[in-house]
Structure 1
């Protein structure tokens, strides 16, 4: 079976599964609209088309045959590149997926996600093998014969090994040179990531980075896919989630520690981005750990 025989939309698994998959064939122009970060490790493969992809603090132009590997809880967003139509598959691996392997194999398979080099451009041989594995996986999800879940596990594992080996080769370390605008925005994003607990205003950052307020606002959105305030809120809420999971600090104190000057605004932003209130988030995390 080839890719054209796969339906335009094909999803597999839920948040409780160790592996989830999403295939989408999109016509026209498309940009992700939701704020995006999650505990799962994400493997994004572009079958056709071109996209802009922002990960953590850098933006990449990706083309057919490129892989994006996203670490757990890294902020990321895919946006339109100006070229319509694309086909992509995303595989999500839960943190628990890697626990089944011995330490050395676990480190090998997880390294491409955590190594700080999100973009992997495969050579022709690797690309053909990756697409063979992915199309076989999609065919199983489409037809769902007996034992298809076993096949999905096997194909996904083989793909992870292929990517782990490809990402260790010296030639894949060369990335496209970022433009001056991309470098400037990356500097600003790194500043936000390191100073989110402090007041962050467009006017102050425009002076610090020698760029006009309007130009900063516009280019930040163009490069990252996020509005400036949107990205600041995401960064603060993500840190608040970590503190709620890992400490016993009060919710009020956490809101202050992550940079929110108004507790009501913190609660509103947290629920918008997390789907639950801070207290509900902490209680759910405790319940999940107790039931694990």
Structure 2
């Protein structure tokens, strides 16, 4: 990369295999990495010679595919197909950080379930989705494996790429397929309703904005759901949701990838003030104080 190409890049961890792509299970890997860029940084419009997944970690910007520009915020996932024109730029008022994964499919893609990934990238629709499945986690682990080169890194890299692409298939297709691992349910398993709530909260922590909406999606009225939950769990449903959101907030603060405002938005709080109030009430200190204390302690260790 020449000096002009480096302008506006705060940091980048890039692994490129353009001359000789690496076979990773059902795909051939061309490039994977993480980029942090300054405000108004641009990657100019270019032709994609392979497929690419872009995951926005933090900040704001825009992703353009075949002249169609879409807003990009933390948690957004963009698919760019081979043969499309592609460009990325950070907002003029915001730095941006993102993961990228460039690949093409090989002969193993014809086997289920990998053929679903090929079908997804062969379709014309579905350029952008917001992550509701924590796809950032296998992305982060993939980058760590390639950075630290632990024992068995090759095998783990294959595993994380497979996870990322199959989770993206699930996210974009928005359907649950039949599975050999689903047992038959007993007629009235003990605590089934409460377990359904607990699983829902765990899997949708970034999208819960009201008890009423959650109850409707689970097929219950909110008053019944709240009463049954409190009887079994000894705490209100709203308190449990808040507790789980604060646990996730602490985890995200400790990761160091997000601003406090971004965490509040990702966890569906109406405002930074309401998030900070809930955090202080649950954790005992403000989000800013917790972050300062955590990284100060970590630095001294």
TM-score w.r.t. length of structure 1: 0.50
Q: Is 1:144 matched with 2:114?
A: no
Task: Output the CA distance in 1 between the equivalents of 2:14 and 2:158.
Answer: 15
Aligned residues: 157
Higher relative strand content: 2
**Residue 109 of structure 2 corresponds to which residue in structure 1?**
101
Q: Is 1:122 matched with 2:131?
A: yes
**1:151 CA drift (Å):** 1.3
**1:77 CA drift (Å):** 0.7
Deviations, residues 97-151 of structure 1 (Å, cap 9, x unaligned): xx2133543431123323222101122xx1x2x1110111111111112321221
Residues 112 and 51 of structure 1: is their aligned pair in 2 closer, same or farther, counting only changes over 3 Å? farther
**RMSD of aligned residue pairs (Cα, Å):** 1.9
TM-score w.r.t. length of structure 2: 0.49
**1:46 CA drift (Å):** 0.4
Q: Which has the higher contact order (CA 8 A, sep 6+)?
A: 1
**Residue 26 of structure 1 corresponds to which residue in structure 2?**
37
After the TM superposition, list the runs of 4 or more consecutive aligned residues in structure 1 that deviate by more than 4 angstroms: none
Q: Is 1:79 matched with 2:89?
A: yes
Residues 93 and 53 of structure 1: is their aligned pair in 2 closer, same or farther, counting only changes over 3 Å? same
Task: Output the CA distance in 2 between the equivalents of 1:111 and 1:121.
Answer: 20
Contact 2:114–2:166, Cα closer than 8 Å, also in 1? no
**Residue 69 of structure 2 corresponds to which residue in structure 1?**
59
Deviations, residues 195-227 of structure 1 (Å, cap 9, x unaligned): xxxxxxxxxxxxxxxxxxxxxxxxxxxxxxxxx
- Structure 2: unaligned runs, 5 residues or longer: 1-9, 22-27, 176-301
Contact 2:14–2:32, Cα closer than 8 Å, also in 1? yes
Larger Rg: 2
Which of 37, 56, 59 is the matching residue for 2:47?
A: 37
**Residue 163 of structure 1 corresponds to which residue in structure 2?**
168
Contact 2:51–2:80, Cα closer than 8 Å, also in 1? yes
**1:82 CA drift (Å):** 2.3
Deviations, residues 161-192 of structure 1 (Å, cap 9, x unaligned): 0000110117xxxxxxxxxxxxxxxxxxxxxx
